[in-house]
Amino acid sequence: RESPDVRRTYVQDVDGGEPRPVTSDGFVGTLLSPDGRTIAAFDRYGEYYLCSVEGGIDPRPLAGYLDGDVLLQWSADGRFLFVREAGSLVLRIHKLDVSAGSRHFWKEFVPPDPTVLIDIGSDPGQVRITPDGESYAYTYWTFEGELYLAEGLK
């Protein structure tokens, strides 16, 4: 039996049976590819990898991923991963070609009035993209304040 603090991802048949590990120790799956053969997973250091659900193949680093990127969605054909760039109030989305390891800018989401955005650190909002990339939704937070001008103060 495994130690209870070992992180990893399992699959289990909906009809029952024993769970089967699909990632190595220390890897946590986040996004399953459309064909169900590959899972994007992160390790204990926050680095992303692609893991075979069938096992027997070592996890391979997710080429094109930059530190702080947030994985959003596989493309419908399983060729790309949509990722959100880290650290910006503007949501910049890239597509990672998982076989070539290349990174391509895809879209930038700018709220209607960026002057009232709240800087909430590295998480400017949530993004959801359909696998075909044709539809998406995103959130952002605003704060409307008041500015006062004081004159003649000494």
| pLDDT tens string 108-129 | 887 776 665 554 444 456 788 9
Poorest-pLDDT segment among 38-42, 51-55, 60-64: 51-55
Number of alpha carbons in the 13 Å side-chain half-sphere of residue 91:
26
- Full-model pTM: 0.77
Spatial distance between the Cα atoms of 72 and 13, rounded to a whole number of angstroms: 25
- What φ, ψ does residue 108 adopt, rounded to 5°? -125, 125
Above 60 in pLDDT, residue 90?
yes
Q: What are 127-138's pLDDT values in tens digits? A: 889 999 999 888
CB 143 within 8 A of CB 127: no
Above 50 in pLDDT, residue 152?
yes
Cα dihedral 35, 64, 82, 111, rounded to 10, equals 180
Above 80 in pLDDT, residue 88?
no
Pairing of strands 28-32, 20-21: unpaired
Higher pLDDT, 9 or 89: 9
Q: Provide the strand spans (E) within the chain.
A: 10-11, 20-21, 28-32, 38-42, 48-52, 60-61, 70-74, 80-84, 91-97, 102-109, 127-129, 136-138
Above 70 in pLDDT, residue 3?
no
- What φ, ψ does residue 98 adopt, rounded to 5°? -70, -25
Q: Residue 5: pLDDT band by 50, 70, 90 thresholds?
A: low
The amino acid occupying position 145 is: G
pLDDT at 35 (0 to 100) = 95
Q: Residue 44: pLDDT band by 50, 70, 90 thresholds?
A: confident
Q: What is the mean pLDDT of the chain?
A: 84
